[in-house]
Structure 1
Amino acid sequence: MGRWEAYFALVLVSTIIYVLAGGGSWRNDGMAAVLLAALAPWYLLLGRRAVDRAAPHPASLAYLAGAVVLSGAASVAAPESSLVLFALCPQAFMVLNWRGAMLTVLALNATPALRFLLASTTVGAVVSFVLWTAVTMGFSAFFGFWVDRIIRQSRERGDLIAELRATQAELAEANRRAGAMAERERLAAEIHDTLAQGFTSILMLLQAADSQLDRDPAQARRQLTLAAGTARENLAEARALVAALPPAGLESSSLEEALGRLAERFGEEMGIPVEFATSGPPRPLAAGAEVVLLRAAQEATANIRKHAGAAHVSVRLAYGCDAAVLEVRDDGAGFDPDAVTGAARGFGLRGMRERVTQVGGRLEVGSAPGTGTVLTVEVPA
């Protein structure tokens, strides 16, 4: 639009100068110049919106009709005014379809043609005018077709850009929803692996202490002490979740120390021997891998507490060349992994498997009724 309007202004100003410098009657030339100058506000009032519309509009027809009247009256006053048709004729193709544009071009050229034919009688003048008119209309048709093609391409490009923006907005919303869902699942897994298990442990210790208050106050106090320690750890885990920090067990200690404390506390809670051992030279793992191993150990001990009825548990951490392996073994009731499907699998095992997969590791559960259970988690070192 900016280039087109610059061209229109250049042709309009040039035509006015050409008319005023024509050497004719100052009255007629002045009147023609005023009529030509009136095309500028007429364009600003209606023409700009008419040219910019995607389809013909009553305002577009009104603008072209006004342009025909103003340019025709100017050409009656001064024949040189017909030079402005080099700018007005292409506008017809920018506003109307091809057939309507050609009719408008004929209307724009009709008044100058009639005036010239009425004022001229020589054959040479008539031939010159016909050639001049043919050049004007040919240029208008070519330029108008070119402009119309550019406008169509621009509108198609605009539609594609609008569709692209809409698609980008939809993708952004979908990504936002997916991110929110992933965050909810992450928090659900964290709460299940930490707070829910801690509360379960506290509840079991409090129930055990309550049953021992009369018979063995010392044992009851020991269980209450364990419950208080578990509550403090739960509080630390809750604060870590809120602050998006590493698990409280890993924040100020190594993975081996965190697993050792887990095994020791679990043995005290359950009153059974829990063995913890490491093999291979210890080395730091990626933070995500350490979290996965710690959470897997917490989930395994929670399942032993709820389902196994084990008399002995072992927790082993082995460092290899390419991987670190956690093994949690118990001699409890065991189960058939293939028979546990659907909702019976629970959130814990599914969440544990998803955690392990996210860090490129693998999880295996080996068990059978009456033979205990072995849970093995391997993560890249």
Structure 2
Amino acid sequence: MTETADDCARQADRRSAPADAWRAFHGWNILFVLAYVVTGTLVFLDDGTSVPARAAALVLLSVCAAAYVVFGRPALARDEGSDRARLLYVVFVLVTFVPATIVVPASSFAMFALGPQIFMTLSQPWAITMVLSINLAPAVRFVLEPGLTWQSAVTVAATSAVSVTFSIVFGPWMSRIIRQSAERAVLIEELEASRAQVARLSRERGAMAERERLAGEIHDTLAQGFTSIIMLIQAAEASRDPSRHLALAMRTARENLAEARGLIAALSPPPLDGSTLEQALRRIAARLLEELSLPVTFEVGDGSRPLPPGIEVVLVRAAQEALANVRRHAAASSVRVRLDYGESEVCLRVTDDGRGFDPAATPPGFGLRAMRARAEEAGGSVLVDGAPGKGTRLTVRIPYPEAAAVTREEAP
């Protein structure tokens, strides 16, 4: 999914850009209060205007501040349904703040708080026009005063030029910041949606892979076993001495029962509740001993350390699958399970002395592919060594989380 900048801008326009800009900076209220406190102080201490004029300016500024509390602040903080309230707030600014700047020019200092709000409320051309009008209002008042000297005219012209220049420069910049804030909000939403979709697809893929693995396991074990039982019973019915066929059918049924128990054990949660990884692996090895009366040894190397639950689950599942393969295919006389804690990784080895096979010439089954997928998700690997008649050794290596992080940082 790729989008152009224009597409992103259109999506940003559909959102409420003022609300995004408002939430992007949490100091708007503080800025408003500070600007109005300074403005009120300047108006109150302005000796160049009469007391009634200062009182009138303070009243107008108070009404403007009340409009901010009632209309402006709630409307700017909302995403939708606030256009009318924003326009109403702009109207209050026009009818209160502009007269205050005409009566007492020092009131213009409040533009430091009102200017950004105007650009968050109106489109850029209208916002620039309004800010220019507000800044030029005191200049109009000076021009209309009788007895204007050229020194005062120069001062008023210079002040107005600074205000106009500031508005022209500040306005587009503020509009650009608002647009970028809205676009960033859209991109964040899209990123969150993409991450959620990736997580959902990963779960679905994992579930599909597990269903495929179970289908293969059932086909290769239970279905074939039931087919053999049916054929043996049919042979027994046609034979004068059915005892041999029935004995074989009974043995096949017991093997099928062991396979079913193995599948159930693989589907059950890892036996880690209230126990350590070593205890769980020891129980899994002991279960094989109970089922097949097969000598199984379990060993733990030095340096035992706690591992994250995710790594423990990978190792337990690997041990279950490896011992299930021993049960089905190896015809082994002994099995060895060993867990070693290295400096940067933990290693699980399952070794048997059974019939063995050539891993390069035998495609991996569902169980081995699932085991590899789990190990690779944890940053590890699975290696199978073996040869016909020489047994099989399966090795699972999982790096510790801190070692995996260092490896990712060093990767180009």
Distance 1:57 1:11 in 2: 25
In structure 2, the partner of 1:171 is 198
Instruction: Select which of 166, 179, 183 maps to 1:152.
Output: 179
Shift of 1:185: 1.9
Shift of 1:235: 5.3
Distance 2:260 2:79 in 1: 65
Map 1:194-343 → 2, pairs under 5 A: 194-211=221-238, 215-216=240-241, 219=244, 222=247, 225-226=250-251, 229-230=254-255, 232-233=257-258, 236-237=261-262, 239-243=264-268, 251-253=286-288, 258=292, 287=319, 288-296=321-329, 327=355
Q: Indicate the SS of the match to 2:27.
A: helix
> Which has the bigger relative contact order, CA under 8 A and spacing at least 6?
2
Aligned residues: 315
In structure 1, the partner of 2:130 is 104
Identity of aligned residues (%): 34
CA contact (8 A) 1:15 1:83 kept: yes
In structure 2, the partner of 1:11 is 35
In structure 1, the partner of 2:276 is none
Are 1:74 and 2:104 counterparts?
A: no
Q: Please list every run of 5 or more consecutive structure 2 residues that lacks an aligned counterpart in the other structure.
A: 1-24, 272-282, 300-317, 336-349, 358-362, 374-381, 396-412
In structure 2, the partner of 1:334 is none
Are 1:37 and 2:93 counterparts?
A: no
**1:259-308 deviation line (CA, Å, top 9, x unaligned):** x98xxxxxxxxxxxxxxxxxxxx9879734443344445xxxxxxxxxxx
Shift of 1:354: 4.9
Shift of 1:2: 2.3
**Per the alignment, do residues 293 and 221 of structure 1 end up closer, same or farther by CA in structure 2, a change over 3 Å counting?**
closer
CA contact (8 A) 1:50 1:60 kept: yes
Distance 1:236 1:166 in 2: 41
Q: Indicate the SS of the match to 1:22.
A: coil
Q: Please list every run of 5 or more consecutive structure 1 residues that lacks an aligned counterpart in the other structure.
A: 262-281, 298-314, 330-347, 365-373
Shift of 1:113: 2.7
**Per the alignment, do residues 349 and 92 of structure 1 end up closer, same or farther by CA in structure 2, a change over 3 Å counting?**
closer
Distance 1:4 1:139 in 2: 20
Comparing 285-294 with 187-196, greater Cα deviation is found at: 285-294
* Residue identity matched to 2:129: L
* Residue identity matched to 1:99: P
In structure 1, the partner of 2:118 is 92
Distance 1:136 1:169 in 2: 48
CA contact (8 A) 1:51 1:94 kept: no
Shift of 1:176: 0.7
Distance 2:236 2:264 in 1: 27
Comparing 57-66 with 4-13, greater Cα deviation is found at: 57-66
RMSD: 4.6
